[in-house]
Amino acid sequence: MPTVKAKKKCCRDKPRCKKCPVTLKRLADLGYADRESRRVFLVMPKVPKKVMAVARAR
């Protein structure tokens, strides 16, 4: 699983970027990522497009 480090603060883009802390937390809640530490997540290599769209929605 690739490791992704979340940004410190959301950039308020629409849709949210892939390294946004909110996006990564939503992926973790949906079961597609595991939280390793406060800002580091282990993301599954193949996240379905629809799941990523839901996680990035504003």
The per-residue pLDDT for range 9-46, each reduced to its tens digit, is: 988 889 999 999 999 999 999 999 999 999 999 999 99
User: pLDDT at position 11, please?
Assistant: 86
- Residue 27 class from Cβ within 10 Å (0-12 exposed, 13-18 middle, 19+ buried)? buried
How confident is the model at residue 46, as a pLDDT? Answer: 93
Q: Which of 51, 2, 58, 8 is nearest to 27 (CA)?
A: 51
- Left (φ > 0), alpha (ψ -120 to 50) or beta: where does 26 sit? alpha
Q: What is the pLDDT of residue 31?
A: 96
Structure pTM? 0.91
* Main-chain dihedrals φ then ψ at residue 48, nearest 5 degrees: -60, 150
Return the closest-CA partner of residue 45 out of 36, 56, 34. 34
Quick check: 1 pLDDT over 90? no
Instruction: Classify residue 9 by its DSSP letter.
Output: S
